[in-house]
Amino acid sequence: MSIRPWRDIARRQSRQIMVGNVPVGGDAPITVQTMTNTPTSDAKATIDQIRRCEDAGVDIIRVSCPDVESTAAMKQIVRAAKVPIVADIHFHYKRALEAADAGAACLRINPGNIGSETRVKEVIAAAKANGCAIRIGVNGGSLEKDLLEKYGEPCPEALVESALDHIKILQDHDFHEFKVAVKASDHFLAVAAYQQLAETVDCPLHLGITEAGGLIGGTVKSAIGIGSLLWFGIGDTIRVSLSAEPEEEVRVGYEILKTLGIRTRGVRIVSCPSCARQGFDVIRTVQTLEERLQHIHTPLSLSVLGCVVNGPGEARETDIGITGGGAGKHMVYLSGVTDHHVQNDEMIEHIVALVEAKAAEIEASEEAHAAAAE
C-alpha cells in the first residue's frame, strides 16, 4: 500500500559511502545491521549465526575482534558471509589493521578507547589500503576523560564534540568514507545528540540506542529512540541493540522501518488484542503465523481479526484478511473483498498457503515488469 502524503518523511540529505557492496547514505535504502555474539575465533559458530541473520534480512553485520585469534578467523568469515562484515575494534588498534587486511568492509572504532591520534592514523592508513569504510562509534559509556571532565557527565554536547574531533582526524588525512554514531543507553540523550550532529555534518549517521535491554524493554526503547530520529528524517543505517539473539534485532529493525513506511520486507500483520467476541484464538493464531511466515520476504499485508467489529474495515486495507465468525467458520478477504469461508481447523494452513501464493504472484509481476522495462 502506498504511503499517504501526511505520512511522508523528508529525509536528511547525507553523502553516500560504500560498506563493501552496500551503499549507505544519500538516497540508498536505510540499512539494517546487527552484531554476532559468538566467539569470533569460532568461525563455524559465527558463520552459522551470520546465516540466520542473513535469512532474517540483515544488510550489514558486525563482528567483534578482541584478540588475534578473532582477526585470524576473519578471512574465513568474510569469505563465507553474503553481506559486508564490519570489524568491531576496542582498545587494540592492531586488531583493526589485521581485520582490514583480512577483508573487513568497515572498521568500527570507538574514539574513547582506541588510543592516541598516531594509532588512529595507522587505522586510517590500513582502511585506505584495503578499501574499508570506517564507523566512528561514540558512546556515552566510554567518552574520553577530558570530555567527561569538561562537561561533568555524558551529555549531547560531549558526544557531538567527541564525534567532531574524530571526524576532523579522518578528514585531515583525506579520508571521507566514514559514518558516525553517537549512542547512549539514555534514549533522550541519544536522540538529542543525533539531532545536534545531524545539523553539523553531512556524513551518514548510524542510529542506535545502546544497551537498550531485553527483547521487550529494548524493543520499546529502541523503537522510541530510533523511530523518533527516523521520523525526523535522520538516519541512514540502524542497529537495534537487544539482549536477545541477533536475528531478533534484525526483525525488530525491520518492524521499526515498516511501521514508519520507510522500508518493507515480509508480511505486515495487523491483528487485534482479542476479547470475548473472538471467533478463534487470535493470540495463538498470530504467534503461529508470525513464525510460519518468516520465510516470506515479499512485502504484503495480512489482517487477523477475531470478530466483525473492526475486521471488515481492516481487511479492506490489506492484501489478505480473516475475521472470526460463529460456529468455527471465518470469512476470508482477498484484496479487501469478501471471498470465501474457512473452517477453524483449516485456518492456519489455509492462510499460509494464501500468503505464499500472493507473494509468488507479486514476485512474478515484479519480474515481468522488470523484464519489460529492459
Residue 3 lies in a domain: no
Percent of the chain with pLDDT over 70: 97
How far is residue 256's CA from residue 218's CA, in Å, rounded to a whole number?
Answer: 13
* Predicted pLDDT of residue 1: 39
How far is residue 283's CA from residue 1's CA, in Å, rounded to a whole number?
Answer: 25
Given 196, 229, 259, the domain boundary residue is 259
Given 209, 229, 259, the domain boundary residue is 259
Residue 54 vs residues 19, 57, 59, 60, 274: alpha-carbon distances, Å: 16, 5, 8, 9, 33
Residues 296 and 220 both lie in one domain: no
pLDDT tens digit sequence for 317-370: 999 999 998 888 999 999 999 999 999 999 999 999 999 999 999 999 888 888
How far is residue 156's CA from residue 110's CA, in Å, rounded to a whole number?
Answer: 17
**What amino acid is encoded at 306 in this protein?**
G
Residues 229 and 296 both lie in one domain: no
Asked if residue 315 has pLDDT above 50, the reply is yes
Residue 296 lies in a domain: yes
Given 243, 259, 275, the domain boundary residue is 259
**Per-residue confidence band for 117, with pLDDT thresholds at 50, 70 and 90:** confident
More confident residue, 110 or 23: 23
Element (H, E) at 139: strand 133-139
Residues 178 and 319 both lie in one domain: no
Residue 157 lies in a domain: yes
Per the structure, how many domains does the chain have? Answer: 2
The pTM of the full predicted model, rounded to 2 decimals, is: 0.90
pLDDT tens digit sequence for 230-266: 999 999 999 999 999 999 999 999 999 999 989 989 9
Residues 247 and 295 both lie in one domain: no
CATH number, domain at 298?
Answer: 3.30.413.10
Given the C-alpha cell 559458530, which residue does it identify? 45
Q: Which three cell numbers stand for residue 177?
A: 568514507
How far is residue 333's CA from residue 330's CA, in Å, rounded to a whole number?
Answer: 10
* Predicted pLDDT of residue 6: 55
Residues 168 and 139 both lie in one domain: yes
Residue 219 lies in domain: 8-259
Residue 2 lies in a domain: no
Residue 234 lies in a domain: yes
pLDDT tens digit sequence for 277-305: 999 999 999 999 999 999 999 999 999 99
Residues 91 and 201 both lie in one domain: yes
